[in-house]
Amino acid sequence: MILDGREVSEKIRENIKKEVEYYLQRGYRKPSLAVILVGDDPPSLVYVGNKRKACEKVGIKSLFYHLPYNTKLEELLELIAELNAREDVDGILVQLPLPPHIPMQEVILAISPRKDVDGFHPENMGRLLGRLEGGFIPCTPLGIDLLLKHYQIDLKGKDVVIVGAGFIVGRPLSALMLWRDATVSVCHIHTKDIKKYTTQADVLISATGVPHLIRGDMVKEGAIVIDVGITKVGNKILGDVCFEEVKEKASAITPVPGGVGPMTVTALLLNTLQAYKKNVNKG
């Protein structure tokens, strides 16, 4: 079975659109998301473009701040402070990666946790760990969770193996999968024998950005395989998973493109709607 992130996203986005229309018909302002991109990293330009198009389609206003590569930390923090103070801005996202002279953690800390629709602020990460209501869950983990739910894949008691312990996906995803009652293993660059883990996985999730790292012989028969990796090689987009080999063994698999990518964008729309609803309902 193919886990079709485009199709599932379409359905969720229709509901988001309806919900936004509900508020507009009652005279409320549009929800709005401020998107900040520093520099011209080609994949980031594509992702930001996808996010902005998706916002527009569901009725979320997107404000785009495209800053030059040599922007100083102070300038970026000033813009974030301005956006934090604006009542008409519900969500703020700074596209990652940032240029190396800008420390990511300082930037994330500067975003108001109430507007942090990426869910990267320590307050939101802490809420995820503590399962406290009201925070934002990082978009890729949330998108994967929604995809699994759509296909009624229950994780209780399952062995979930995550390859990649990054800040954007692996770490928050491990917390979320634990809350779904899975037994979670996280492999990373220092893991001695990755295959020892992946061949045991009921659900294998790879988020490394290494094209075709996961081969057919690394996957258990009947496993569910989620591919978060997305790398442009020549004019092809490749995932972490060698789809042609792994699809023969997996009972369910996400394609690249069209799997986790669209779900990440959909999760961003949901988080922005959540931030908006809190704002308009507070008065």
Ligand X SMILES: Nc1nc2c(c(=O)[nH]1)N[C@@H](CN(C=O)c1ccc(C(=O)N[C@@H](CCC(=O)O)C(=O)O)cc1)CN2
Of 6 and 29, CB closest to ligand X: 6
Q: Does 46 bind ligand X (CB under 6 A)?
A: yes
User: Segment near ligand X (CB under 6 A), from 25-33, 81-89, 193-201, 255-263?
Assistant: 255-263
Q: Which of 111, 230, 238, 250 binds ligand X (CB under 6 A)?
A: 230
Of 59 and 262, CB closest to ligand X: 262
Give CA–CA dist 175/125, Å, rounded.
Answer: 9
Q: Which residues within the stretch 85-144 sit at the binding site for ligand X (CB under 6 A)?
A: 93-96, 118, 139-140
| 196 labelled catalytic | no
Q: Does 2 bind ligand X (CB under 6 A)?
A: no
Of 9 and 220, CB closest to ligand X: 9
Q: Does the annotation list 102 as a binding residue?
A: no
Q: Catalytic one among 4, 90, 116, 118? A: 118
Q: Which of 179, 258, 277, 280 binds ligand X (CB under 6 A)?
A: 258
CA of residue 94 relative to chain centroid, distance: 13
Q: Which of 60, 168, 250, 269 binds ligand X (CB under 6 A)?
A: 168
| 95 labelled catalytic | yes
Q: Catalytic one among 4, 90, 95, 145? A: 95
Please choose, from the candidates 255, 257, 264, the residue with its C-alpha nearest in 3D space to the C-alpha of residue 237: 257
| 25 labelled catalytic | no
Output the CA torsion sign for 130, 77, 103, 231.
positive
Q: Does 50 bind ligand X (CB under 6 A)?
A: yes
Q: Does 47 bind ligand X (CB under 6 A)?
A: yes
Q: Which residues of the chain form contacts with ligand X (CB under 6 A)?
A: 46-47, 50, 93-96, 118, 139-140, 168, 230, 237, 256-258, 261-262, 264-265
Question: Can you say which residues are annotated as belonging to the binding site for NADP(+)?
Answer: 164-166, 189, 230
Q: Which residues are catalytic?
A: 51, 95, 118
